[in-house]
Structure formats: structure tokens, C-alpha cells
Amino acid sequence: MNVFVLGTGRCGSTTFFHACRHVTNFTVSHEGHAKKLTHRLEYPDGHIEGDPWLVDHLGGLGRRYPEALYVHLTRPEDEIVESLLKRWEHSAWLRYLQSVYRPVTEGERRQVCQSCVRRMMENLEAFFETLAPERRMTVRLHHVKTDFSQFLVWIGAEGDLTAALAEWDYQYNRSKG
């Protein structure tokens, strides 16, 4: 069984990965295939993958892994946008957005971020609506200790689950500013 952790980015996926490293009955990676041009969706059985870039591959992912479990990692839209804006100069994702939207003026940055986050959220919500309820779960960043504990039970996680929960006391990949 595979588990895919999907979100918009800037929603806690790096910390989710660190927490899952304490699970011993799954392999785990974060953006493990993000730079691959081929074999992008090939993951071993018994794997947890957290990768916001998979939002662009939802159709293929759903067809290739029809029995997988899917986690929607969420954070309020305004917080995601603020985090993106703080990382504007240093984000590969935002460089990509500028190439799609044309050079973006400083005054347009917020609007571009909001538009992209909304598009990603809409795509994720539509994808999750297609899944049977027993194959989907939402983990909310602001309720992560409770939700992540439920996630561990849901997947039948084994390992140092206390250490896994403790990872949420530290913010990895935090936006500065």
C-alpha cells in the first residue's frame, strides 16, 4: 500500500516527511522524484511520498495507484500566500510561475500567488472528491498533532510514533521574514 501526501506547498510537507521517517513499516521520501523527467510516478510498494509537485500529476497518480491512500495536507490560503511571498526571490516554484505568467512586477506578486494557490486547492479538492472516503484523509496544519496521530493509526504505522509526533514541535523549511 502506498500513501501520497498532497498539498499546495508551504503547508507542512517537509515536516510531515521528517515525522514519517520514524515510521518503520514504510519507506518515505519528500519530493523524491520531483526532478525526474521519466518514471515520475514510479514508487515502491509500501511507500509514503510527500510532494506538492504531484498536484500537476493527479490524473496519472490516481490511475497508477487506484488502491493508494491519499492525504490532503492543508493550511489556510492566506498563510500559504504569505509564506510564498516571503520566499519569492528564492523559490524554484515561483521562478516557474514567473515563466508561465511572464515577468511579474512586485505589485502583482500577491495576485499571482493567490491565483496559483487557489488553482492548486481547486484541483486537489476535485481530486479528493473522486476518492472513496476510506482512501482519503485531511491533515490540517493547525490541528496537526491530532490529525497526524489519526493518520498514523489510519495507515497502521509502526515505529517510534512518539518521536514522529515530536517532529511537529520543530518547523522545517520555515519562511524567513
Q: Which residue has the higher pLDDT, 167 or 33?
A: 167
pLDDT tier for residue 106 given thresholds of 50, 70 and 90: confident
Buried b (16+ CB within 10 A) or exposed e, 117-151: beebbebbeebbeebeeeebbebbbeebeebbeeb
pLDDT tier for residue 112 given thresholds of 50, 70 and 90: confident
Mean pLDDT estimate for the chain: 90
pLDDT tier for residue 177 given thresholds of 50, 70 and 90: low
> Which of helix, strand or coil describes residue 102?
coil
Indicate if the pLDDT at residue 150 is higher than 90.
Answer: yes
**Average pLDDT score over residue span 121-138:** 96
Calculate the alpha carbon distances from 175 to 16, 21, 27, 91 in Å: 16, 22, 27, 11
Indicate if the pLDDT at residue 89 is higher than 70.
Answer: yes
Indicate if the pLDDT at residue 98 is higher than 80.
Answer: no
∠ Cα 88 92 95 (to 5°): 65
Q: Where are the domains of the chain?
A: 3-169
Q: In 3D, which of 133, 5, 126 has the Cα closest to residue 72?
A: 5
Provide CATH code, domain 3-169. Answer: 3.40.50.300
Question: Tell me, what's the pLDDT at 63?
Answer: 95
pLDDT tens profile 22-80: 999 999 999 888 777 778 899 999 999 998 889 989 999 999 999 999 999 999 999 99
pTM check: above 0.85? yes
Indicate if the pLDDT at residue 102 is higher than 80.
Answer: no
Calculate the alpha carbon distances from 121 to 93, 135, 168 in Å: 16, 19, 23
